[in-house]
């Protein structure tokens, strides 16, 4: 696939400055970046930042960006995750260079590099268990202890490593470690593991391998083999850069590989009132706390898509977050503001009633007219639909108050209000049930007010409505924050205890007949209520199932 789209970072940042300098000084003539996800879950908003950055940098500097799956941990990786990641990158508007790449494409070369390091006494086979290794690793204030197997000679290590490859040892009994420095102040340099035994079927290499390289070893060599110029990753990998450079330095100096990539770190993006860990998101899925990876409450790209967030809104949000080394924990309101800004000029308007109160128009007769109204008052190209008034209509219960408060501009007993796209009506009578609950209003129409205001008085209020007989029943899913705390990871050992029990509410609603002009994933504004998306799976005109997910309200309602 070619890298030919126009989504680029809107503002400058320190990584762009580095690249500009590299081009000016002729350190590089072509820019090659990469996006290297592990296919062990669906991508989330943090990955969206990395996608926009890496592909955006390539676009800005007329370079290329590779999509490379880090498939070195076969017990957690699936084809479902691979396909979902490819779909997410494409949906965001990006195209990777050439064919999709995989770390497993380089397993033979990685093995060759490992054997070479063994031959140079820079790697050794260790028999310590993972627990024993942890005890000898040391701490930030205490140096580590050398493994008793550290001084095996190269020939013995080569023989043992080949036996590991051939499946002669059980999982966890041996590892291959680099021989660097157990007294290094950087714990990542204290003889890190670069291979471990895992007798697990791999989704691409099947049962060819029973040893798999670790991320730190795989990633830097894969970058080098793909001629990556700038390997951008999040800040948790900053302490790993010394190891990245150590591996590349020795292999390049000895002519085993020929290219030296550069690792650059930036702060990861986190969003309040959710979690951005694939492990924790997976817990929500497997414990049925959400409906799946694409549940609209999830911060996954597929979840945001199903909620109706437009890709341009996500791009706008990412640009507003910026790229730096400072903490990047964003308020949910910033994301919703970006989404709202994009939808304002792109979404049709329809009327829907979510909490209906019935009105009978007592003086309705055949002289009452209806009118065509545009789907968007500022965009005639969106077309128009007929808004047909009938004797019985629904309004929102919240739009009526029996005893109105000061400055009330909606309907009340004896008061008037305009029906959106229609007439002014007056409430003449309230009908209640035996418990005193209002169940119906009787109102009269001012028949001279279709498309014009009365000359003798001002009626300020305008409310939305739908016809009882013409409207179409639908289901609307209303969403609140997924967690009750802004940073759920910081309040309890089990973040799941902070799940908001009221994060989803389904209501039976009514929508005007023009709903039949919509298609799955189309976002519309329910007038006066917010933006709603026709669910990509559950909205079906053929089966007459009309299910909407609330995307965002018309204004920020989050108050801490």
Residues annotated as catalytic are 38, 268, 278
DSSP state, residue 33 = E
Q: Whole-angstrom Cα distance, residue 37 to residue 20?
A: 26
Give SS3 for 265: strand
**CA nearest neighbour of 50 among 75, 23, 68:** 68
Instruction: Compute φ and ψ for 442, nearest 5 degrees.
Output: -105, 125
DSSP state, residue 482 = S
DSSP state, residue 499 = B
The encoded tokens of residue 19 equal 């690249």
Distance of CA 92 to the CA centre of its chain: 10
Instruction: Compute φ and ψ for 552, nearest 5 degrees.
Output: -165, 150
Give SS3 for 16: helix
Report the 10 Å Cβ neighbour count for 318: 26
Q: Whole-angstrom Cα distance, residue 206 to residue 200?
A: 8
Tokens 């050439």, located at residue: 98
Q: How far apart are the first and last CA of the chain?
A: 45
The encoded tokens of residue 53 equal 């950055």
Report the 10 Å Cβ neighbour count for 524: 25
Q: Is the dihedral of CA 516, 520, 525, 530 positive or negative?
A: positive
Q: Whole-angstrom Cα distance, residue 202 to residue 205?
A: 5
Cβ contact 58:95 at 8 Å: no
Q: Whole-angstrom Cα distance, residue 123 to residue 192?
A: 10
Give SS3 for 432: strand
DSSP state, residue 495 = G
**CA nearest neighbour of 410 among 465, 344, 349:** 465
Q: Is the dihedral of CA 407, 413, 416, 419 positive or negative?
A: positive
């Amino acid at each position: 696939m070619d890298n030919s789209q126009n989504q680029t970072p809107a503002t400058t940042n320190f990584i762009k400055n580095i690249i500009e300098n590299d081009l000016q000084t002729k350190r590089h003539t072509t820019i090659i970046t990469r996006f290297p996800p592990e296919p062990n879950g669906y991508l989330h908003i943090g990955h969206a930042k990395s996608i926009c950055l890496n592909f955006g940098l390539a676009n800005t500097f007329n370079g290329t960006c590779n999509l490379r799956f880090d498939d070195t941990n076969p017990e957690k990786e699936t084809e479902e995750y691979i396909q979902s990641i490819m779909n997410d990158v494409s949906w965001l508007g990006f195209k990777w260079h050439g064919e999709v790449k995989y770390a497993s494409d380089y397993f033979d070369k990685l093995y060759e590099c490992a054997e070479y390091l063994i031959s140079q006494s820079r790697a050794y086979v260790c028999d310590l268990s993972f627990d024993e290794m942890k005890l000898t690793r040391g701490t930030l204030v205490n140096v580590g202890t050398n493994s008793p197997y550290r001084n095996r000679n190269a020939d013995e290590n080569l023989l043992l490593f080949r036996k590991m490859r051939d499946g002669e040892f059980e999982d966890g009994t041996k590892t291959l470690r680099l021989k660097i420095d157990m007294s290094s102040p950087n714990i990542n340099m204290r003889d890190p593991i670069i291979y471990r035994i895992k007798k697990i079927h791999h989704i691409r290499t099947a049962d060819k391998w029973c040893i798999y390289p670790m991320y730190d070893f795989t990633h830097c060599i894969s970058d080098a083999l793909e001629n990556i110029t700038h390997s951008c990753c999040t800040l948790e990998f900053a302490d790993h850069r010394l190891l990245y450079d150590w591996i590349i330095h020795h292999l390049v100096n000895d002519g085993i590989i020929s290219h030296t990539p550069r690792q650059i770190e930036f702060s990861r993006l986190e969003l309040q009132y959710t979690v951005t860990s694939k492990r924790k998101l997976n817990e929500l899925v497997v414990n049925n706390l959400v409906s799946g990876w694409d549940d609209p409450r999830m911060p996954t790209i597929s979840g945001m898509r199903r909620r109706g967030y437009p890709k341009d809104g996500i791009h706008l949000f990412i640009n507003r977050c910026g790229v730096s080394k400072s903490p990047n924990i964003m308020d949910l309101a910033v994301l919703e503001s970006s989404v709202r800004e994009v939808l304002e000029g792109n979404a049709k308007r329809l009327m829907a009633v979510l909490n209906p109160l019935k009105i009978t128009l007592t003086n309705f007769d055949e002289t009452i007219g209806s009118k065509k109204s545009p789907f968007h008052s500022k965009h005639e190209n969106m077309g128009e639909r007929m808004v047909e008034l009938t004797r019985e209509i629904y309004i929102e219960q919240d739009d009526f108050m029996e005893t109105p408060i000061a400055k009330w501009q909606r309907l009340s007993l004896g008061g008037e209000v305009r029906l959106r796209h229609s007439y002014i009506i007056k409430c003449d009578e309230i009908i209640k049930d035996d418990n005193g609950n209002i169940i119906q209003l009787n109102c009269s129409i001012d028949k001279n007010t279709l498309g014009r205001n009365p000359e003798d008085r001002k009626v300020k209020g305008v409310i939305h409505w739908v016809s009882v007989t013409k409207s179409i029943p639908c289901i609307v899913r209303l969403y609140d924050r997924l967690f009750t705390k802004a940073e759920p990871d910081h309040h309890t050992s089990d973040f799941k205890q902070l799940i908001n029990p009221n994060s989803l509410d389904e209501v039976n609603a009514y929508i005007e007949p023009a709903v039949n002009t919509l298609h799955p994933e189309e976002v519309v504004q329910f007038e006066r209520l917010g933006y709603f998306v026709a669910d990509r799976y559950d909205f079906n005109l053929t089966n007459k199932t009309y299910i909407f997910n609330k995307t965002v309200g018309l204004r920020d309602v989050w108050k801490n």
